[in-house]
Amino acid sequence: MASSPPLQDRVAIVTGSSRGIGREIALHLASLGAKLVINYTSSSNHADSVAAEINSNQTTPRAITVRADVSNPEDVKSLFDTAERAFNSQVHILVNSAGVLDAEYPTIANTTVESFDRIMNVNARGAFLCAKEAANRLKRGGGGRIILLTSSLVASLKTGFGAYTVSKAAVEAMTKILAKELKGTGITANCVAPGPVATEMFFEGKTEEMVKRAAEENPFGRIGESKDISPVVGFLASDASEWVNGQVIRVNGGYV
């Protein structure tokens, strides 16, 4: 008898999943049997195409799209409400992949207050709001997973990424505390911290020289790809990862 996929019919919300790493994570979780909420903030076109890819050849839809700004508490609550209604189930898995950075790559001395606030708002406040909602609403007693994307920059501490790195360091500290506070629920909380990955956000504002340098700094001699990250998230979302809790997993090919 064929065994069922590891995430069979578990409901997963992936924020920022209309493109980049989030998109690849959503597609991967769907391939493991999960039902997906594809979250986006601006244009629905990319999100719709991800959902269509998951729903092709399915008798009943296994993916829906939901517009929500992760920095807005009402939007985050609505994201979970919509997921529960659509799939008639509690949410099992939250992956927070939504994030922004300053593509001018300013030093801290030259970072504007507006830029700092925007980055903290989406990256730190957004992760807090999503994790807070998940901690209160994910299925208890097993299979509950909170996975927050941070960055290997928290370890490499490169110049030009000050506000972004600060926002991700805050998320890593919060996750470690959250894992302890969720004692008795069966819900785990972990961070996945990619190094440079070939996404629109990575390439924005970078010269060819900067990209080449990032590739050369890696033992593999290349930039990461979204598909390098998604299987690690897939593992953390599954029952196989139950004993991994409160951890930051740096997925960067040895870059840091």
User: Cα(121)–Cα(229) distance, rounded to whole angstroms?
Assistant: 24
User: Cα(187)–Cα(94) distance, rounded to whole angstroms?
Assistant: 11
Q: Which entry of 40, 105, 164, 255 is annotated as an active-site residue?
A: 164
User: Cα(227)–Cα(232) distance, rounded to whole angstroms?
Assistant: 9
User: Cα(179)–Cα(187) distance, rounded to whole angstroms?
Assistant: 8
Q: State yes or no: is 164 an active-site residue.
A: yes
SS3 of the chain: the string is CCCCCCCCCCEEEEECCCCHHHHHHHHHHHHCCCEEEEEECCCCHHHHHHHHHHHCCCCCCCEEEEECCCCCHHHHHHHHHHHHHHHCCCCCEEEECCCCCCCCCCCHHHCCHHHHHHHHHHHHHHHHHHHHHHHHHCCCCCCCEEEEECCCHHHHCCCCCHHHHHHHHHHHHHHHHHHHHCCCCCCEEEEEEECCECCHHHHCCCCHHHHHHHHHCCCCCCCECHHHHHHHHHHHHCHHHCCCCCCEEEECCCCC
Neighbours of 40 (CB within 10 A): 24
Catalytic sites, residue numbers = 164
